[in-house]
Amino acid sequence: MIVTISGVGGVGKTTVTKLLVKKLKWRLVRPDDIAKKKKLYAGFDKERKSWIVNLEKLGKELRKIEKKEKNVLVESLYAHFFEADIVIVLRCRPEVLEKRLKKKYDWPTKIVENKEAEMIGVITQEAVERHGRSKVYELDTTRATPMQTVGQMMEIIKGGGKKYKAGRIDWLK
């Protein structure tokens, strides 16, 4: 089974997946690390000075890992683009996200871009476009502790996550 965890920058992906792998004892994959190790790039973005990963090749690597390890947790800003059994998108009210981002990054465009992306729910939209609504879940981390979010993820993975199905969170309302 492949479970992906995504969400905009600063929403809490790394914090919760670290806790979740400890509980599940699953293999945790960060696609950026595999791309770096295996040089799975599609090009270079000069403006952002960063490599563009090859999603197709990375997807194949994930399948290989799944065959070996059975269960894989994939954590990334773009994890929702991969084939998966469960797609979890972390969400956070934009004003609170901004505070989390300011603690993490001293880079105004990064803060604004992520806050705006969260405001309109870009990641959920992309995830639903890619997978359909049935596989996509959203967790609101705004007032939750990381452990509470992990508990909700466990519920979803065990098959009882109906109440977290994508489509309930709209920060523009």
Interface residue list for ligand ATP (CB under 6 A): 7, 9-16, 77, 100, 141, 144-146, 149
Q: Name the residue nearer to ligand ATP (CB basis): 63 or 171.
A: 171
The DSSP bridge pattern shows strands 86-91 and 72-75 to be unpaired
Q: Name the residue nearer to ligand ATP (CB basis): 28 or 60.
A: 28
Query: Alpha carbon of 154 to those of 16, 30, 61, 80, 139: distances in Å?
Result: 11, 19, 25, 18, 12
Interface with Mg ion: number of residues (CB under 5 A): 2
Task: Select the residue whose beta carbon is closest to ligand ATP and give its number.
Answer: 12
Q: How far is the CB of 151 from Mg ion (least distance, A)?
A: 20
Residue 15 binds which of ligand ATP, Mg ion, none (CB < 5-8 A, kind-dependent): ligand ATP
CA angle 8, 119, 127 (to 5 degrees): 50
**Identified binder of Mg ion from the candidate list 1, 14, 107, 116, rule CB under 5 A:** 14
Q: Name the residue nearer to ligand ATP (CB basis): 18 or 39.
A: 18
**Residue 119 to residue 121: CA distance in whole angstroms:** 6
Q: Which residues lie below 8 Å from residue 141, measured CB to CB, with a gap of 6+? A: 11, 12, 16, 90, 91, 92, 149
Residue 141 binds which of ligand ATP, Mg ion, none (CB < 5-8 A, kind-dependent): ligand ATP
Task: Select the residue whose beta carbon is closest to Mg ion and give its number.
Answer: 14
End-to-end distance of the chain based on CA atoms, in angstroms?
35
Q: Name the residue nearer to ligand ATP (CB basis): 27 or 93.
A: 93
Instruction: Pick the closest to residue 30 from 70, 82, 68, 67 (CA basis).
Output: 82
Q: How far is the CB of 75 from ligand ATP (least distance, A)?
A: 7
